[in-house]
Amino acid sequence: MTFKEKLRQSAEKHGSKVILALDFSDPYDARLAKAEKVLDATKGEIAGVKVNHHLILPYGLTGLSTVIGICRAERLPLIADLKMNDIEATNINIVDSLTAYGFDAVIANPFVGREEGLGKAVERIHANQGGIIFLVYMSHKGADEGYHLRLEDGEPIYRVFATRAREWGADGVIVSAKATNKIAEIRGIVGDSCLILTPGVGAQGGEASDSLGAGADYVIVGRSLTGSSDPLKAVRALNSS
């Protein structure tokens, strides 16, 4: 089963298009327990889970065994948000390590290029029954400073990244929930070949319904859930919006 199939199956099973982002900036000795608590509370109402450097750096892959175990038990696809952007040998080592420890996908930066960059890493993670998601348009305020840069022919780099996702066999793309016009535009580039995952919902100002209406497949939500006194109620509100 491909990563896209796993995510779609999970979304149908849990009746949700929400991917929970377990991003915590609490003291290091408190982060993991909070992550496990929020995940345990919401696991029946989400489509997938994303973790990034907030957890992976202080705890490592072995330290995330409980999070990984919950995701396995609930069949929730687990995404490593590493923004992978290195040479081929390192990228291959990253995807081998992630899939060996139970991750289902990794987020990568297509800027690094295909040859001796991401090309064989895409092949390897697919061989490991995993998926790869390309950064196309991020959700922070300075995103325009990078993603609107243009090549010599005038093409903005975010469109180039979307084309690379389609042509290089990426499973999905990351596009800001706050840029619904970009979601629709990028859907026109990738067609049905890539899922569109949109961060920036909630605390950053994006709306789940607007993103999904513009063509996104899933929304990535962190602080609106991880900072809630009742994350289950919060995710149910998102599912019904």
Active site residues: 83
- DSSP letter string, the chain: --HHHHHHHHHHHHT--EEEE----S-HHHHHHHHHHHHHHHTTS-SEEEEEHHHHHHHHHHHTHHHHHHHHHHT--EEEEEEE-S-HHHHHHHHHHHHHTT--EEEE-GGG-IIIIIHHHHHHHHHTT-EEEEEEE--STTHHHHHT-B-TTS-BHHHHHHHHHHHHT-SEEEE-TT-HHHHHHHHHHHTTSSEEEE--BSTTSB-HHHHHHHT-SEEEE-HHHHT-S-HHHHHHHHHT-
Neighbours of 12 (CB within 10 A): 10
- DSSP letter string, 20-44: EE----S-HHHHHHHHHHHHHHHTT
